[in-house]
Chains A and B, each alone.
Chain A
Amino acid sequence: MQDIKSSISQMNALELSAQKNTIIHRLQAPVKIITTVIYLLIIISYGQGQVSRLIPCFFYPAVVMALGEIPFKTIAGRLLIALPFSLFAGISNLMFSRETAFILGGIAVTAGMVSFASIMLKTALCVTAVLILIATTDMNGLAYGMLSLRVPPVIVTQIMLTYRYIGVIAEEASVMRHAYLLRAPNEKGIRMKDMGAFLGQLIIRSFDRSERIYNAMKCRGYEGRIAYSDREKISLKGWAYITVTSVFFLLLRFVNVSALVGSLFL
């Protein structure tokens, strides 16, 4: 079993990438959030049979990754974690939708295969876009970006606190695990029969900690609502970036780029 702390440090690799200073990193967080949301909406809007039209959509993440100096390996590694979920969601299409959609090189391609490929491509594109957003914007920037976009502060606070304490709880779990393993030298991990007590202890510790945090908040005047700094306004440059990328996305969506490229060669 992999050590909990090393899993957390792997999670932090994307966060480290957010500390860079490239043209993409320098964009305001709300600009990147809006662009990502528009991109996601465009991707989702493609029909199930439009697999070939989805392929040019890789252009955007590829360009942003290059400009943002985001290592492909970092994104690909996380993408591989997300893809199995879509794989299981899309696999039923292969079984239930068996009518032939078209023949490719003498092989009958079923409608199920097409929609399966579409689901996988859409997942890859959407997850990549979100990972790029995280890899180019630190959590604080994301939080303030969300506030600028009028996301309710209570939701932003939940996200911030979860992010802040996930490492602390993981560290606590790691210490408990080490303490367990030192007294159970023949075990490679927590035995299932002890897992209930282990998780129960972790929850109790989390409750204790949350009470202490709440007390610390109250001691500094907290009365149910966290006050953040003034909301950041999107600059002219930011609006220009949103406009250019949106026009590009709309072109991809409504012009069949794949067919155009194909016609050049046929």
Chain B
Amino acid sequence: MLKIESISVTYPDGHKVLEHLDFHIEKGETVGIVGTNGAGKSTLLMSVVGILIPEEGRILVEGTEVCKKNLSEIRRRAGVVFQNPDDQLFMSNVYDDIAFGLRNYGDSEETVREKISGIAGVLGIEKLLQSHSHKLSGGEKRIAALASILVMEPSLVLFDEPTSFLDPKTRRKLMNFLKGLEVTKLIATHDLDMALEICDRVLVLKDGAVFAEGRAREILADEKLMDAAGLELPFCMQGIE
């Protein structure tokens, strides 16, 4: 599904964010990316959809290489749910926001209507469709942003801190939804409890490289490893609920 082959990404100011990063994700897997601030989690997500192009190595999404000429195809297959839904909901109402990607890919208005009605039903946001994006609560914005990606039926969804800014109940609701979501998921997060609960596998990034990789329950429970990566055990493993 997703193959990352020894990629290196350097920002224009010369700061090397990712260095010879290698990993792959199988179809249907849910993989968490954890690491300290600046470890390269968001950069990795942006590289997968070609917002940042690595100067070394290559990324393959379902066998298609991420490069300038394939970006349109890649972005239809891989959707990104941004950390801040305000960055993602830029149209004046929710319907147009969800329709944005579909229209850009040339879907007819009838198809757009059908698909939006479908996804709104699944996510329970039918009543929000005509609402102004900026009038929604944080949780509603997050769901609307998610809808704007899922409506494009991507085979890979990348999440950047999906549980940030959410109250506990909305966080739980979102986590339950993500657990049931049958697409390949790559989740960059600081929420280790969420990673533990919904990810099959976890990738620990440190200084732009893979520091550790393995089953979520094994990696996240390894106190020494987590400490060496600049992280802590998930709260539930520290006895904090």
Contact = CB atoms under 8 A, between A and B. Distances in A.
A220 interface: yes
A163 B134 CA distance: 10
A241 B223 CA distance: 73
Contacts of A217: 90, 100
A95 B130 CA distance: 52
B103 A228 contact: yes
Contacts of B30: none
A138 B104 CA distance: 24
A212 B101 contact: no
Contacts of A221: 72, 75-76, 101, 104-105
Interface stretch (B58-66, B91-99, B205-213): B91-99
A138 to B, nearest CB: 8
B133 interface: yes
Given A221-B72, A229-B96, A167 B134 contact: yes
Given A219-B80, A220-B148, A160 B91 contact: yes
Nearest to A172: B86
A224 to B, nearest CB: 10
Contact of A143 (B51, B87, B92): B92
Nearest to B149: A220
Contacts of A239: none
Contacts of A218: 51, 75
Contacts of B133: 164
B88 A139 contact: no
Q: Is the interface of A mostly helix, strand, loop or mixed?
A: helix
A228 B96 CA distance: 8
Contacts of B152: 220
A223 B92 CA distance: 19
Given A219-B51, A221-B75, A168 B96 contact: no
A227 B103 contact: yes
Contact of B104 (A167, A215, A227, A229): A227
Contact of B87 (A161, A167, A213): A213
19 contacts: A140-B132, A168-B86, A209-B87, A213-B90, A215-B51, A215-B87, A216-B80, A218-B75, A219-B51, A220-B75, A220-B104, A220-B148, A223-B104, A226-B100, A227-B100, A227-B104, A228-B103, A229-B99, A229-B109
Interface of B: 46, 49, 51, 72, 75-76, 79-80, 82, 84, 86-88, 90-93, 96, 99-101, 103-105, 109, 112, 132-134, 148-149, 152
Given A164-B92, A215-B46, 12 more contacts: A139-B92, A140-B93, A143-B92, A160-B92, A164-B133, A215-B82, A216-B82, A223-B104, A226-B91, A227-B100, A227-B103, A229-B109
Interface of A: 138-140, 143, 160-161, 163-165, 167-168, 209, 212-213, 215-223, 226-230
